[in-house]
Amino acid sequence: MALMTKDQYLASLRGLDHWVYIQGEKVRSVPDHPISAPPAMAMAETYRRAEIGEMKPLFTARSHLTGETINRFTHIQHSVEDLVSKILMLREMGRETACCFQRCAGLDCLNTLYAVTFDTDRKFGTRYHDRFTEFLRFVQTHDLVSAACMTDTKGDRSLPPSRQPDRDQYVHMVAEKKGGMIVRGAKLHITGGVNSHELLVVPTRKLTEEDRDYAVAFAVPADTKGVKLIYGRQPSDTRRLEAGRADVGNFSYGGCEAMVVFDDVFVPEERIFMKGEYPMAAQLVELFAAHHRASYGGCKVGVGDVLIGASAALAEVQGTDRASHVKDKLAEMVHLNETLHAAAIASASKGFSTPSGAYAVDALLANVCKLSVTRFPFEIARLAQDIAGGILVTMPSLNDREDPEIGPYLKKYLVGKEGTDTEKRMRLLRLIENITLGTGAVSYLTESIHGAGSPQAQKIMITRLADLQSAKQYAFRLCGL
């Protein structure tokens, strides 16, 4: 079939035999719970836009395995154009949903494992690449979502995995079994974990020989026995439970993260893509990081587009759009937003083939992209709040508009420029609140710092990747040394 429709995707989610814990509640059908529905709908958009319409060319690609048209979210990139298209697709999704739509980490992880299993085989004489290709073919053919599970719980950060007092603080093999292995541990911040068909587990850091048991990569269906998904809270998440969801800001979409516990889960051999080849862990982490750090110059920029649009629209409603300082702030927001995008595009533009044939982005520029992402959205959000005005956080509930006693006051006193109704103003304000202080801020702000690695991780990579030696030589020559 290769392409699933949005509705088929939602049905497939409902068909999963997994249990998700949402604030103590055991939820089985994720798209039907008001808290988890918006994330499911955001993910579903990745299907809808590949179905039909003008975005189909951007959201689909030709599988290098089968030659079939597949969703680009399952595609192994084989050219600079592919790398660029991914960034453009992510930006488009960001614009459409104004949240984390959760499917890019899995995509980046597929591309990483494709390249790394190839290199592992060459180095260790193993046969992971064929296995992984088989898995990939399965994902592409059924158009599945595979969630990347990387960040371990880490325990004491000053100790490596094998020296932790509690050895389970990093996911690891606890036993070999006939036809597979048993794994234990937990992964944090698993974006879209509750909306995914498959969980794709990889190491989170460089490993040494002592950590051999921690050098595991594998995939298991999300409803595998022993897997537990514990849903994370977000600011203002329960507004989705309120009457009419009047104050949610973003009516259709949202992101979600979960803690994924692997409580002695069995992984069959054909789903194991690394088992003990610890020297490959560092390469895997760096390649994934490069792919994923570039991704942030797509999705976050799309959310930025929405925030800029909402601010511009609100300025019109409130009658401040002609003020020179407002125009200047909007220009600054665009400038910062496009600077993020430019770095992602540039990292793709300087992409290159790995030995497997899969393309990688320029790692220095991808890290540069992400490091700016840890900064600029905060400034863009600040400027949006500046344009919005204090009413952003002092405004009563939109439901109060319907109240017979106080509704008339709201309608009278919260007008903007003549002719604009208060509802338009209030909804735009709630959207800006959502992105800068609500559920949307999880993805637009905090995740912009920590997703795909924290700022310090980027600084370390920039230091490592910068060619300071030749820079010194230029300097020496110029000052006559």
Residues annotated as catalytic are 100, 104, 191, 257, 292, 296, 299, 447
Given the complex with a copy of itself, which of 138 and 251 has the nearer CB atom? Answer: 251
Helices (H) and strands (E) in the chain, counts: 17, 14
Interaction pattern, residues 371-400, with a copy of itself; x per rule: CB under 8 A: xx-xx--xx-xx--xx--xxxxxxxxx-xx
Q: What six digits make up the tokens of 259?
A: 């803690």
* 350 vs 328: CA distance, rounded Å: 32
Stretch that binds a copy of itself, among 54-62, 116-124, 139-147, 344-352 (CB under 8 A): 344-352
Angle at 103 between CA 5 and CA 65, to 5 degrees: 70
* DSSP summary character for residue 445: I
- From 253, 273, 278, 296, residue interacting with a copy of itself (rule: CB under 8 A): 253
**Contact flag: residue 24 with a copy of itself (CB under 8 A):** yes
- Counting residues that bind a copy of itself (by CB under 8 A) gives 151
Given the complex with a copy of itself, which of 40 and 84 has the nearer CB atom? Answer: 84
Positions 91 through 120 that interact with a copy of itself (CB under 8 A): 95-98
3-state secondary structure (DSSP) of residue 181: strand
**Contact flag: residue 236 with a copy of itself (CB under 8 A):** yes
List of residues 6+ apart from 13 with CB closer than 8 A: 29, 30, 31, 40, 195
**Contact flag: residue 18 with a copy of itself (CB under 8 A):** no
**Contact flag: residue 238 with a copy of itself (CB under 8 A):** yes
Q: How far is the CB of 129 from a copy of itself (least distance, A)?
A: 31
* 77 vs 96: CA distance, rounded Å: 23
Given the complex with a copy of itself, which of 162 and 349 has the nearer CB atom? Answer: 349
Q: What six digits make up the tokens of 161?
A: 């995995």
- From 57, 130, 177, 468, residue interacting with a copy of itself (rule: CB under 8 A): 468
Q: How far is the CB of 162 from a copy of itself (least distance, A)?
A: 15
**Contact flag: residue 39 with a copy of itself (CB under 8 A):** no
Given the complex with a copy of itself, which of 129 and 172 has the nearer CB atom? Answer: 172
**Contact flag: residue 456 with a copy of itself (CB under 8 A):** yes
* 358 vs 121: CA distance, rounded Å: 15
- From 308, 358, 361, 373, residue interacting with a copy of itself (rule: CB under 8 A): 308
Q: How far apart are the first and last CA of the chain?
A: 66
**Contact flag: residue 66 with a copy of itself (CB under 8 A):** no
Kindly report the three-state secondary structure assignment for every residue of 101-116: CCCHHHHHHHHHHHHH
As to burial, measured by CB atoms within 10 angstroms (0-12 exposed, 13-18 middle, 19+ buried), residue 150 is buried
- From 166, 176, 209, 264, residue interacting with a copy of itself (rule: CB under 8 A): 166
Q: Which helix (H) or strand (E) holds 17?
A: none
As to burial, measured by CB atoms within 10 angstroms (0-12 exposed, 13-18 middle, 19+ buried), residue 470 is exposed
Given the complex with a copy of itself, which of 280 and 310 has the nearer CB atom? Answer: 310
Q: How far is the CB of 39 from a copy of itself (least distance, A)?
A: 13
DSSP string, 236-286: TGGGGGSGGGTT-SSSS----EEEEEEEEEEEEGGGEEEES-THHHHHHHH
Given the complex with a copy of itself, which of 198 and 257 has the nearer CB atom? Answer: 257
- From 76, 139, 220, 369, residue interacting with a copy of itself (rule: CB under 8 A): 369
**Contact flag: residue 410 with a copy of itself (CB under 8 A):** yes
Q: What six digits make up the tokens of 348?
A: 């793709």
